[in-house]
Amino acid sequence: MAAIYSLYIINKSGGLIFYKDYGSKGRMDTNDSLRVASLWHSMHAISQQLSPTLGCSGIELLEADTFDLHCFQSLTGTKFFVVCEPGTQHMEALLKVVYELYTDYVLKNPFYEMEMPIRCELFDINLTQAIQKDRVALLGR
């Protein structure tokens, strides 16, 4: 079964605003997740500089030995990235769904301050569902 290991959301300046772990070994502590998130932000920016042609918008997929990292950057610079098993399909679609949930339950929440860590119960609930639904869809095929 293809599994999702973790999900990160970072704001436009590279700060981690949401991190959820779905069962990877040696879970990262808060400091490490913050560091990894801002490191990813810089790597994403550097990859644009090294592009051989115009119009590069940064890394979309990183294939490591033991995982795949799919990244989606919204127009406002917020980055969503998911760490999953190598070869997992439909991750772009999942990231779009997560983005939609973010706009609905986080941005439209009047108590949410922009660029600050996300603490919205409804977002958590719907996110858990979306990720499970995704798993079910993958299992069904």
Partner 1 sequence: MQFFGGSEISPSPPVPTTAGNNAHMMYVFNRNGVCLLYREWNRPLHTLNPQQDHKLMFGLLFSLKSLTAKMDPISSDKGNLGVPQLPGQGCSFHSFRTNTYKLSFMETPSGIKIILVTNPRTGDLRESLKYIYNLYVEYVAKNPLYTPGTSIRCELFSTALDQYVRSIA
Binding stretches for partner 1 (CB under 8 A)? 5-6, 24-26, 28, 32, 35-36, 39-40, 42-43, 46-67, 69, 83
Q: Which is nearer to partner 1, 46 or 93 (CB)?
A: 46
Instruction: Give the bridge partners for 18, in sequence order.
Output: 9
Query: Which CB sits closer to partner 1, 39 or 114?
Result: 39
Least Å from the CB of residue 62 to partner 1: 4
CB under 8 Å to 83, separation ≥6 — which residues? 4, 5, 6, 7, 8, 24, 67, 68, 69
The least CB distance from residue 114 to partner 1, in Å, is 26
Q: What's the rounded Cα separation, in Å, for the pair 97 and 141?
A: 20
How near is the Cβ of 5 to partner 1 at its closest, in Å? 4
Q: For residue 80, which of 1, 10, 3 has the smallest C-alpha distance?
A: 10
Beta bridge partners of 19: 8
* Closest to partner 1 by CB, 13 or 53: 53
Nearer to partner 1, 93 or 122 (CB): 93
